Amino acid sequence: MIGAGTRLTGRVTGEGSVRFDGTVRGDIQIAGAADIGASATVEGSVQAEAVDVSGSLIGDVSARGPIAVRSGALVRGELKGTEVSIEPGSRVSVRIDAEFELELELGAAPRRR
């Protein structure tokens, strides 16, 4: 855990999951999940198994699993993951790169009048 009031400059790497509540200026590369809390500010790219953002994130995200942007979050950058969810009330300026399937219902063709 990177606690509130903590400021880090530089690269953060690790094998487990990490919760960020402080400020990080630098790239994050961890094997587990990255949880960016409501009081956190991250300026740098994030690579993790899954990423959950409630605070501020300026940088690109690459996740091997899901990415969640929570209400109240501020995110700017590219989001690449298996799925991306963005809750109402968040502020985002992103490019999304995700693989997904669309299920289309094929019905009768529309009638012309």
Domain locations in the chain as residue ranges: 7-98
- CA pair distance 27, 43, nearest whole angstrom: 8
Question: How many Cβ atoms sit within 10 Å of the Cβ of residue 75?
Answer: 24
Judged by DSSP in three states, 80 sits in strand
Residue with tokens 């502020």: 91
According to the model, what pLDDT value does residue 111 have? 55
| pTM score of the predicted model | 0.83
Per-run averaged pLDDT (10 residues), the chain, 113 residues: 90 94 96 97 97 98 95 96 91 82 57 55
According to the model, what pLDDT value does residue 76 have? 97
Strand 34-36 and strand 18-20: the pairing is parallel
**Are 56 and 37 in contact, with CB atoms under 8 Å apart?**
no
